[in-house]
Structure 1
Amino acid sequence: MIGDIAQILISEKEIAEKVAELGRKISSDYQGKNLLMISVLKGSVVFMADLMRAISIKARVDFMNVSSYGSAQKTSGVVKIVKDLDIPLEGYDVLIVEDILDSGLTLSYLKGILLERNPRSVRIATLLDKPERRRVDITPDYVCFSVPDEFVVGYGLDFDETYRNLPFIGVLKPEIYENT
């Protein structure tokens, strides 16, 4: 698996430091609020686990699974809800926790759906941001790292459901994902 990585873009240590910093910021920003963290499965589960432990205020968590990729490398533009939330959103300050903000199509759609459910607020925290790939006008409220337009895996991010368990963010060698 390591042999499939062209380079390590963000180390395990860098991720841990940035997630701890983000947890402190979110704890401060949401002090006295009714925080509900929504993990967008599957990619954000590693980030969500570390981020929620870095937050020092009361928070609830829920999970949602949406898809616009399937097994493809690029978004199809069609978003479908695979697993919806268990908690009604009224009265909550929602924080969507995502692994990567790329085209923005999925998160834009998701944010719109969640806003219709009458939460007090909806914000976005993302581990990685690829602003040059954006196809819609959406900006995350919290970002750990901006990354170049490379095919990245690890720390929850996958290619064809693999590489999620790498403890760092790495650039996948093109020969691994080309011709698939």
Structure 2
Amino acid sequence: MSNGSLDNDIEHVLLSTDQINARLDEIAADISRDYADKDVLVVGVLKGAVMVVADLTRRLTIPVSMDWMAVSSYGSGTKSSGVVRILKDLDADLHGRHVLVVEDIIDSGLTLSWLVANLRSRGPESVEIATMLRKPDAAKVEVDVRYVGFDIPNEFVVGYGLDYAEQYRNLPYVGTLKPEVYGG
């Protein structure tokens, strides 16, 4: 599957479409088993998790509801201050439900740690995390992640929901950009 000029900006494909699909099959089987007969709410974290949520939930063999949150960790320049704002909150009531937060990637874990604490304060039965990618070397806080697609090096990656300047999200694989694309 080709995306024309976007593919030309990729230096290295880290995870192929086939690798992603095979891992999604495995994670979906685990989730379907672990959440059988439970009231599950899948919470996608916008924008990056759109691809993961869509592909993962289509593979589940259990009924689930879906909702979306958008959060922003902001500070000066490219550094996070650790202060988190909710840009789009959930519509669903979490009380007594099993919440599965789905992320595209976990870097420092700071925003996700805040988000999980926020969701737990709303009275769910449980809150667990599924992520397609995790960068263990970038972690600043310990976040308990129940379902991990792939642990990857601490490199800037795009594709499969991940962007650079709002581009490359639609690539069906995960790759690194050529340095000349971002001035690196």
Aligned with residue 181 of structure 2, among 173, 176, 179: 176
> What root-mean-square deviation, in Å, do the aligned CA atoms of Structure 1 and Structure 2 show?
1.7
Residue in 2 that maps onto 1:160: 165
* Deviation of 1:69 (Å): 5.7
- Does residue 17 of structure 2 align to residue 12 of structure 1? yes
Identity of aligned residues (%): 52
Structure 2, unaligned stretches of length 5 or more?
A: 1-5
* Deviation of 1:51 (Å): 0.4
Aligned with residue 124 of structure 2, among 119, 126, 132: 119
Partner Cα separation in structure 2 for residue 98 and residue 77 of structure 1: 18
Residues 15 and 55 of structure 1: CA distance in aligned 2, closer, same or farther (over 3 Å)? same
Partner Cα separation in structure 1 for residue 22 and residue 79 of structure 2: 30
Residue in 1 that maps onto 2:3: none
Aligned with residue 46 of structure 1, among 51, 69, 89: 51
Residue in 1 that maps onto 2:111: 106
Residue in 2 that maps onto 1:81: 86
* Deviation of 1:132 (Å): 0.7
- Does residue 149 of structure 2 align to residue 150 of structure 1? no
Residues 114 and 56 of structure 1: CA distance in aligned 2, closer, same or farther (over 3 Å)? same
The code of the aligned residue for 2:46 comes to: L
The code of the aligned residue for 1:67 comes to: S
Partner Cα separation in structure 2 for residue 91 and residue 110 of structure 1: 18
The code of the aligned residue for 1:41 comes to: L
The DSSP-based 3-state class of the residue aligned with 1:79 is strand
Instruction: Count the aligned residue pairs.
Output: 179
Aligned counterparts, 1:84-99, within 5 A: 84-99=89-104
Residue in 2 that maps onto 1:34: 39
* Deviation of 1:139 (Å): 2.6
The DSSP-based 3-state class of the residue aligned with 2:83 is coil
Partner Cα separation in structure 2 for residue 131 and residue 157 of structure 1: 17
Partner Cα separation in structure 1 for residue 85 and residue 140 of structure 2: 18
The code of the aligned residue for 1:51 comes to: L
What's the TM-score, normalizing by structure 1?
0.94
Structure 1, unaligned stretches of length 5 or more?
A: none
What's the TM-score, normalizing by structure 2?
0.92
Partner Cα separation in structure 2 for residue 74 and residue 55 of structure 1: 36
The code of the aligned residue for 2:139 comes to: R
